[in-house]
Amino acid sequence: MKDIQDRHRTLKESFSSNPRSVRDSKDLLSKFRNVLSQSFEPIAAAVKADFNKPQLEFYVAEFGQAIAETNNIINNLESMLSSPSPKTVPVTFSTMFMEVEKIALGTVLIISPFNYPLILSISPLVGAIAAGNNVVLKLPYDQLPNFSRALTEVLESVFPPEVLLVVGGGVTESTYLLNECKFDKIFFTGSTKVGKIVYEAASKNLTPVVLELGGKSPVFITKNIDLSSIDALLDRLLWGKFSNAGQTCVAPDYVLVDSVVYEKVMNHLQKAFEKFSKIDNKSDYSHVVNQRNFDRLNGLIESTKGDVIGGRTVKEDLFIAPTIVSNIDWNDPLMCEEIFGPILPIIKYDGSFQSIIKKVTENHDTPLAAYLFSSSEEDLTMLRKYLRSGSILVNETLMSAGCFVTPFGGIGSSGFGNYHSKWSIDTFTHERAVLKQPLWAEFLLAERYYPYTEKKLRKLMLLSKIPEIPFQLVKSILFYCLVFICGYFVGGVWNSFSR
């Protein structure tokens, strides 16, 4: 542990004594992108060895996304680091030169999870590095040893030790980092239970935290679903649920189907499920990452009161086949907490769409994602109005997690803070105001000084009633005033020489 403490100290000292320029950060990220782009096969093989993750899934959901997001940040970093000027300013501030700059926070801790280990490590990492921070990255060595070693090799070949420290181990190392090392921000992705521990530890040092958690993300299939495209829609649903064996923070957790279309949806769903029914422990399909989660998921299958389709398990390989469970209610064991596995419960509902949204908010408020399968704009408007969620996807699943040109993050019990590309820059920087008051403006400021008089108060009250001035107009006026003053001075000097 002493080595972690010493290296952590090196990162903090390096940040204070040798801050990186934007050019330096872009050069580091460009080098990292080039090295990572040549490392697909060894990293994909490592993830395959850890929990049988298919190469296609790994490339689509992680590797390709990591390269693309890094490119996006490199190409747009200057604009991402800029802050917009105010549109209008009160007259009392109109003489000031003002700007807002984004500055790096310092040394930050990123704790990455096991389920999408590459993208959920790289996405916050490149944002933190681009913003000018130094980083301690805690990888899931205890659960994914092969992947963690492969990624560490890539990272340490690019980033110098005064910029990045990769930490291995498991709970012991994470606990040490949280309790013994002071950070300027902590970024955690994982379960709500561990998120609470991270939050409590961070509060002791008043360290700001981003928590990317999860929750039970509902799928609403309303009576307004486009039945002419139902097969494609259900393919999207099952893909979203069973990718990565359901171990996805934004995976569809359960499905709510309007009774008007329930029979038709179930008939087509069983047909769409046929391709998954052939999957076994030898297939190119992800396994559950650890024994604890396998036992939990197996227990859910055994205890549910619903009708189970699929549900085969192989304990030796930590394999659970894709599973659908129908004819359940809100009290079923499957509806108690986030499933985080390849089990899809389906509930039939009667009544209005608004009433089922209310039922969701009563049972599992603020999910990380909400999915709507409907062609009705009215349904979407109602969902946006009555349900708080990290994101809403219409006739699609999962994509919010990979769409790095939009923010990603939770609300309420699903977490707080967000990231992705520009939003990662915002997360890992502080917006600092820089204000400069010119000395020539002193004649306008005299009324604020002691001694205070009734006359001064009346003047200041009158001043406060003047409407705000467009900021660009203020800049133009100040510019032309400066030109006039300079011209007046230069003209005076010229005339003195001309006499």
Catalytic residues: 212, 249
Cα distance between residue 271 and residue 251, in whole Å: 21
Query: Of 36, 3, 27, which is closest to residue 150 (Cα–Cα)?
Result: 36
Using CA atoms, how far residue 8 sits from 106, 189, 222, 241, 482, in Å, is 12, 21, 52, 39, 49
Which amino acid belongs to residue 27? Answer: D
Give me the residues paired with residue 164 across strands: 135
Residues 222 and 351 sit within 8 Å (Cβ to Cβ):
no
Residues 70 and 121 sit within 8 Å (Cβ to Cβ):
no
181: left (phi over 0), alpha (psi -120 to 50) or beta: beta
Cα distance between residue 102 and residue 59, in whole Å: 33
Cα distance between residue 320 and residue 391, in whole Å: 28
Cα distance between residue 205 and residue 184, in whole Å: 9
Provide the 8-state DSSP code for 467. P
Do you find a cis peptide bond into 451, omega within 30 degrees of 0?
Answer: yes
Residues 444 and 104 sit within 8 Å (Cβ to Cβ):
no
Residues 433 and 445 sit within 8 Å (Cβ to Cβ):
no
